[in-house]
Amino acid sequence: MASTIRVRATASGETTEVQALIQHPMDSGFVKDAKGEIIPPHFIQQLTFEYDGKNVFVADWGTAVSKDPYVKFSFKGGKKGDDLKISWVDNKGATDTTTAKIV
Amino acid sequence: MAALAFAAAPPAIAADTPNPAADAKAFQKYFTGKFPKLKLEDFVNGPYSLNEDMHKQWEEKEQFPPYEFSLDMGKEMFGKPFKNGKSYADCFPNQGIGIRQNYPTFDEKEGKVVTLELALNRCREANGEPPFSYVKDEMAALTAYMAFTSRGKPFDIKIPNDPRALAAYQNGKRYFYTRRGQLNFSCASCHVQNPGERIRAEILAPALGILNAMPIYRSEWGGMGTVSRRFTTCNIQTRGVPLEPQADEYRDLEYYLSYVSNGLPISGPGARP
Amino acid sequence: MRKNMRISTLSLVSVLLIATATSVMAAGSEADFKTAYAAAEAANEEAGALRDQWTVTATALAAAKKAADAGNFDQAVAQSKGAEALAKASIFQATSEKEAWKTIEIR
């Protein structure tokens, strides 16, 4: 199955800019379905970006983040051709991870 | 006295013989006149072309568009054969690739307008598959893929020399300008009279090019929606009971709106606030 | 004496009339509701044939029915009449728009 993580990392001078789009329902647990029953909470709790063995970005998320979240940030360092590893864990214990090359 | 009476009379409403080519010309002139800084093709991005701040957001969004997942799913679905071994490619000219700009078409055998969504479900039913809901999910994914294969191609809607086609076009035009719902809005109330203005927190899109980006990932919906979804939800927003998706009026409306945007490039699938 | 009797007869008659009228208003409401609701539904169907029903009409009809189910007929009648008024407004809108749309068409 295709990865839920789309990522693009671009190195420019001393910084690397990272954009990621993650496919996830991010159900808050407050919304009811057509039958009137609560859709149980199902959301990413932690999102991690790792470069050269170190975490360059860690997000602790909750129910306020919307469906299919998009993240953009920059970090100091990062060279073209190097790997960037992205992974997430959700409240049901599911995970996904992917590795992208910095361009 | 007679001269005064004539002067006081309201301007005569044009005869009921529709002239679509003249309509399209007037339609495009109206909007390019209202927004002289825009190129004709800019209109396909709707509100994003009308507001500096929104344009910046749009440029960023295009780098990582939220419709990507639906588009990928659509490509996969389009390529997968039906249980009987046939596929969508068998139902459409050119295998269904790069043809979205020709829809809706007027089917002279049936005497009615056929939209892309309708054609897709008919293809499914003709091959023993159950139809999809018209408003989202699979239908949005399929039309997203088909739109994507037509990106950049200008709308090329044809009205054959057939009085039924002209009547359908005229009916779509009538629907567009007719007020409905308790709030007494017509499509034109927002998209002709107030493009670029705000309605609550949204900036209204101009009617010119308004279907070119369909289907769209709309943040308001938290997901994808088709032309059918937009028509039905718009009715509800004016407190009018929506018609069935692909009702005659909706098909004719799509026909009219697409025709008057002939020449503008397909930009779908799109994203909107 | 006779004048007094006439006055008091008149008063008695009028009191009886008022009493009768009041009790008719309180008790006959289920029939009133059915009539009012049917009229509202018929108007809404006509709006449907004109392809211009309003969502608020449906809401008012549902509220009227709910009130009637609870035995609250006075309210049910009032809401049915409200629904009918909304349905009639939607009919008026659809009818006048048959020509009115042409005045805002881009030419």
Q: What is the mean predicted confidence (pLDDT) over A13-30?
A: 94
* Residue B80: band (very low, low, confident or very high) from pLDDT cuts 50, 70, 90: very high
Report the gap between the CA of A88 and the closest CA in chain B (Å): 18
Q: Which helix (H) or strand (E) holds C22?
A: helix C2-27
CA distance A4 to chain B (A): 9
Residue B52 backbone phi and psi in degrees, to 5: -55, -50
The question of whether B234 is a catalytic residue gets the answer yes
Q: Do C106 and B186 touch (CB under 8 A)?
A: no
Nearest residue in chain B measured CA to CA from A8 = B64
User: Is the predicted pLDDT of residue C11 greater than 70, yes or no?
Assistant: no
Residues β-bridged to residue B270: B216
**Which residues in chain B have Cβ-Cβ distances shorter than 8 Å to C104?**
177, 186, 188, 192-193
Q: Which CATH superfamily is domain B20-273 in?
A: Cytochrome c-like domain (1.10.760.10)
- Domain ranges in chain B are 20-273
Distances in whole angstroms, Cα of residue B29 to Cα of each of A65, B13, B32, B207: 43, 20, 5, 12
Give how far the C-alpha of residue B272 lies from the chain's centroid of Cα atoms, to the nearest Å: 14
Beta-carbon count within 10 A of A36 CB: 6
Sheet hosting strand A70-76, strand order edge to edge: A5-12, A15-22, A70-76
Query: What is the Cα–Cα distance from B53 to B41, expressed in whole angstroms?
Result: 19
**Which chain A residues are within 8 Å of B66, Cβ to Cβ?**
21, 68, 70
Structure confidence at residue B4 (pLDDT) = 45
Place of tokens 């705000």: B198
Burial tier of B233 (Cβ tally within 10 Å: 0-12, 13-18, 19+):
middle
The partner residue sitting opposite C54, judged by closest CB among B23, B192, B239, is: B239
Reference B67, options B203, B264, B267, B228; nearest CA is B267
Number of CB atoms found within 10 A of residue A4's CB: 18
- Could you say which of C55, C100, C102 has the minimum Cβ distance to residue B240? C55
Percent of chain B whose pLDDT exceeds 90: 84
The per-residue pLDDT for range B161-170, each reduced to its tens digit, is 999 999 999 9
Q: Is residue C33 a part of any domain in this protein?
A: yes
For the stretch B86-142, pLDDT in tens is 999 999 999 999 999 999 999 999 999 999 999 999 999 999 999 999 999 999 999
> pLDDT (tens digit, 9 = 90+) per residue, C31-63?
999 999 999 999 999 999 999 999 999 999 999
Which residue in the block uniquely carries the two structure tokens 């719902």? B181
What the block records as the tokens of B81 is 């054969």
Total structural domains within chain C: 1
**Nearest beta carbon to residue A6 from set B64, B222, B223:** B64
Q: Would residue C45 count as lying in a domain?
A: yes
Residue A89 at interface with chain B, using a CB cutoff of 8 Å: no
Residue A22 has pLDDT above 50, yes or no: yes
The predicted structure's pLDDT at residue B6: 45
**Residue C76: its pLDDT value, please?**
95
In the predicted model, what is the mean pLDDT of chain C?
84
Domain ranges (residues) in chain A:
5-29+38-101
Asked if residue C83 belongs to a domain, the reply is yes
Tens digit of each residue's pLDDT (9 = 90 or more) over A70-93:
999 999 999 999 999 999 999 999
Q: What is the largest CA-CA distance in chain A?
A: 54
CATH class of A5-29+38-101: mainly beta
- Chains contacting A with at least 3 CB pairs below 8 Å? B
| Lowest-confidence region among B26-35, B253-262, C3-12 | C3-12
A85 touches chain B (CB under 8 A): no
Average pLDDT in the B238-249 region? 97
Percent helix, strand and coil across chain C, each to the nearest 5: 90, 0, 10
Average of per-residue pLDDT across B248-254: 98
More confident residue, C31 or C9: C31
Is there a contact between B193 and C105 if contact means CB atoms under 8 Å apart? Answer: no
Per-residue pLDDT, C23: 44
The confidence score (pLDDT) of residue B271 equals 93
Nearest to C102 among B13, B26, B180 (CB): B13
The answer as to whether C104 is a domain residue is no
User: Please, do chains B and A touch (3+ CB pairs < 8 Å)?
Assistant: yes
In this model, does residue C21 exceed pLDDT 50?
Answer: no
C74-84 tens-digit pLDDT: 999 999 999 99
pLDDT in tens, A29-82: 999 998 999 999 999 999 999 999 999 999 999 999 989 899 999 999 999 999
List B123, B187, B190, B234, catalytic entry: B234
pLDDT digits (tens, 9 = 90+) for B193-218: 999 999 988 899 999 999 999 999 99
| B-chain residues near A6 (CB < 8 A) | 64, 68
Higher pLDDT, C7 or B146: B146
Neighbours of A93 (CB within 10 A): 7
CA closest to B61 among chain A residues: A70
Which residue in B has a C-alpha nearest to residue C106's C-alpha? B27
Residue partners of C29: CB distance under 8 A and separation at least 6: C73, C74, C76, C77
Mention every residue, 6+ apart, whose C-beta is less than 8 A from residue A69: A21, A22, A24, A26, A44, A61
- Confirm whether C86 is domain-assigned: yes
CA distances from B233 to A82, B26, B137, B240, C2 (A): 47, 28, 16, 9, 75
For an interface test with C, the pick among B182, B208, B260 (most C C-beta atoms closer than 10 Å) comes out as: B182
What local confidence, expressed as pLDDT, does residue C27 receive? Answer: 47
Residue C16 lies in a domain: no
What pLDDT is attached to residue C19? 43
Across the interface, whether the CB atoms of B222 and A70 are under 8 A apart is answered: no
ipTM of the complex: 0.87
With an 8 Å Cβ cutoff, the interface of chain C facing chain B consists of: 48, 51-56, 58, 86, 89-90, 93-94, 97, 99-107
Please, what is the Cα angle at A72 between A71 and A76, to 5 degrees? 130
Provide the whole-model pTM: 0.86
CB pairs under 8 A between A and B: 20
pLDDT digits (tens, 9 = 90+) for B8-29: 444 445 556 889 999 999 999 9
Give the confidence band of B51 by pLDDT, cuts at 50, 70, 90.
confident
Give the start-end residues of each E strand in B25-156. 105-107, 112-114
CA distance B88 to B139: 13
Confidence of residue B62 (pLDDT cuts 50, 70, 90): confident
| Contact residues, chain C, for B27 at CB < 8 Å | 106
Q: Which residues constitute the domain of residue C91?
A: 28-99
Return the residue in B56, B64, B218 with the most chain A beta carbons within 10 A, the one to mutate for interface testing: B64
Among A2, A21, A67, the residue with its CB nearest the CB of B64 is A21
3-state class of B213 per DSSP? Answer: coil
Chain B partners within 8 Å of C106 (Cβ): 23, 26-27, 30, 192
Strand partners, A73: A18
In which element (H, E) is residue A17 found?
strand A15-22
Tell me the per-residue pLDDT of B65-74, one tens digit each, with 9 for 90 and over.
989 999 999 9
Strand partners, A12: A15
Q: Is the pLDDT of residue B232 over 60?
A: yes
